[in-house]
Amino acid sequence: MNYTKQVREYCEKNANSLIDISIVRNSVFSDIPYKTLLKIFNRLEDEGVVHNVSKGIYRVGNKITNGKDILNAYTQKGKGMVVGYTLFNNIGLTAYQDEKVEIYTNAIANKQKTIGDFLLKRVDLEFTDEIVDLISLIEILDAGYSMKGADVLSYKRTVELLALTYSDKNFTKVNDAIRYKYSTIDKLSELLSRLDIVNTCLEIYQEKIYLRSEKL
C-alpha cells in the first residue's frame, strides 16, 4: 500500500483524535520508515489534514486542542491519571493550583513528555480504579501535611477512605512501576495498620530495593 494513503486512511478513521508519532511509529506504522512517516505528517499538516500540537504530536482535523483533549487522550480508558496538585484539587484537599498539570500515563513511549502546561511521565501500569485509588493514596501521603493549603480534616478523611481499597497485589504493581521514598511507604504501612488492614507493603518495598541493588 502507498505509505501516504495508509497514513491518510488512518487519520480519516481517527478524526479529531491525537496522534503521538512515538507510539504509532512502532505499532500502526511499523512498516513505514521513520523519516518517511515524519515527512508524510508534515505534508498532511500543510494540507490541513492534521495540525501540530506539540513536538511529535498531531491532532487530526482543524479542531483546536484544549486541556480537556490532552487529559482525555492520556488518562481515559486505563491510560493514566493526574497526580500532583491537580489530583489534590480534584479530591478537594487544597485550593492551591500548580502551573503544571502532571500526568502518569502508559500512552507515551519516552520517559517524559511536555505538551504545553502538561507534564507526562511514563508509568507502565493499567490504570484500573483500584490502581488509581492506591496511587492517589500514596501521592497524598508523599506530599503529607506540607501540601500547600492543605485542609487537614479532608486529608485525614481522604487517606482513610482510599486505604479501604488497598491490596498487596495492587501495591506490588505500583511499587514495580513507581519509585517512592521509604518514609512514604512507612506512612502507608502505619495508616493501614491503624485501620486494621492486613498488608505487607513495607516488606514488598524492601524486597524490591534489595532486588534493585543486586542488579547494580
Tell me which range, 20-24, 63-67, 190-194, is most confidently predicted by mean pLDDT: 190-194
Could you tell me the pLDDT band of residue 214, with boundaries at 50, 70 and 90? low
- Alpha-carbon gap, residue 75 to 67, rounded angstroms: 12
Spatial CA neighbour of 27 closest among 125, 81, 107 = 107
Are residue 20 and residue 125 in the same domain, yes or no?
no
**Predicted confidence (pLDDT) at residue 1 exceeds the cutoff of 80:** no
Last residue of a domain, one of 38, 60, 82: 60
Cell of 167: 491490596
What pLDDT, on the 0 to 100 scale, is given for residue 61?
86
Are residue 50 and residue 139 in the same domain, yes or no?
no
What domain range includes position 35?
3-60
Are residue 48 and residue 75 in the same domain, yes or no?
no
CB 3 within 8 A of CB 32: yes
Residue 14 CB burial class (10 angstroms; 0-12, 13-18, ≥19) = middle
**Arithmetic mean of pLDDT, 23-49:** 92
pLDDT digits (tens, 9 = 90+) for 135-174: 999 999 999 999 999 989 999 999 999 999 999 999 999 9
**Predicted confidence (pLDDT) at residue 44 exceeds the cutoff of 60:** yes
Spatial CA neighbour of 67 closest among 55, 47, 53, 50 = 53
Are residue 18 and residue 90 in the same domain, yes or no?
no
Are residue 95 and residue 136 in the same domain, yes or no?
yes
What pLDDT, on the 0 to 100 scale, is given for residue 99?
87
How many percent of the chain have pLDDT more than 90? 76
Cα–Cα distances in Å, from 186 out to 12, 86, 138, 192, 206? 51, 24, 10, 10, 11
CB atoms within 10 A of CB 58: 23
What pLDDT, on the 0 to 100 scale, is given for residue 193?
97
Are residue 27 and residue 86 in the same domain, yes or no?
no
Are residue 106 and residue 210 in the same domain, yes or no?
yes
What pLDDT, on the 0 to 100 scale, is given for residue 184?
97
**CATH number for position 13:** 1.10.10
Are residue 51 and residue 73 in the same domain, yes or no?
no
Are residue 100 and residue 11 in the same domain, yes or no?
no
Are residue 137 and residue 198 in the same domain, yes or no?
yes
pTM for this predicted structure: 0.86
Contacts of 96 (CB under 8 A, 6+ apart): 85, 88, 89, 147, 148, 149
Last residue of a domain, one of 17, 38, 60: 60
Interstrand relation of 118-122 and 101-105 (parallel, antiparallel or unpaired): parallel
Are residue 118 and residue 24 in the same domain, yes or no?
no
Are residue 28 and residue 104 in the same domain, yes or no?
no
Over the chain, what is the mean pLDDT? 92
* Structural domain count, the chain: 2
Last residue of a domain, one of 60, 77, 96: 60
**Predicted confidence (pLDDT) at residue 216 exceeds the cutoff of 60:** no
